[in-house]
Amino acid sequence: MSIKKIITITIVGILSIVILTLISSYFSYNNKEVALRTQADAQVKKIETTHDEMWKVLSEQASVSDNYKEAFGKIYKDIISSRYDKGDGSLMKFIKEANPNFDTKLYDKVMNSIEIQRTAFKNTQDRLSDIIREHQTLLNSYPSKWFISNTKPIEQKVISSSKTKKVMETGLDDDVDIFKK
């Protein structure tokens, strides 16, 4: 074989490897971008379902606690009035007797659920932020930025409160009196 033929085959081989590498990179980076975009869309749905679950659980638990409070108030009033409204001095027995006690376990459960549900909701939003950060890194890093077709950023609508929005807008958080005394 001649030297010219060997050089030609070598050049064709190198060019083939370069072209295959470029094509492979194109598909690889675009598939990664599509995967992140799909993951972000799924996470938005997860945020919605987590928020929905949070409010349903908290509303239902608060409703049970309120019903318990009202029922206990009625029962307690009836028990006390039937025992001690006779005018026969039986009111003094009140001190010695064991009377029904209001159980606060339901309120404790509601308070724990608030913390747990809010944390779960925050975590789903944080996960979307992580996906978006990873997507932006892919779009802005070399060599991936040369190959990606869809460079449109993923939008995130952070669910927050009007108080937090105001703090972010003004940069001030002076309202530290939680109980508004």
Task: For 9-59, write each residue's pLDDT tens digit.
Answer: 999 999 999 999 999 999 999 999 999 999 999 999 999 999 888 888 888
Handedness of CA 111, 115, 118, 124 (dihedral sign): negative
CB 156 within 8 A of CB 133: no
CA distances from residue 126 to 34, 47, 116, 131 in whole angstroms, order as listed: 20, 10, 15, 9
Q: Read off the pLDDT band of 76 (50, 70, 90).
A: low
Residue type for 34, please? V
pLDDT at residue 154 greater than cutoff 80: yes
Share of the chain above pLDDT 90, in %: 45
Q: Give phi and psi for 101, each to the nearest 5.
A: -110, 145
The C-alpha torsion from 29 through 32 and 33 to 38, rounded to 10°, is 160
Cβ contact 115:105 at 8 Å: no
Within 10 Å of residue 12's Cβ, how many Cβ atoms? 10
Lowest-pLDDT choice from 34-43, 44-53, 114-123, 169-178: 169-178
Prediction pTM value: 0.69
Query: Where along the chain do its domains lie?
Result: 1-32
Task: Using the predicted structure, report yes or no on whether residue 151 has a pLDDT greater than 90.
Answer: yes
More confident residue, 95 or 4: 4
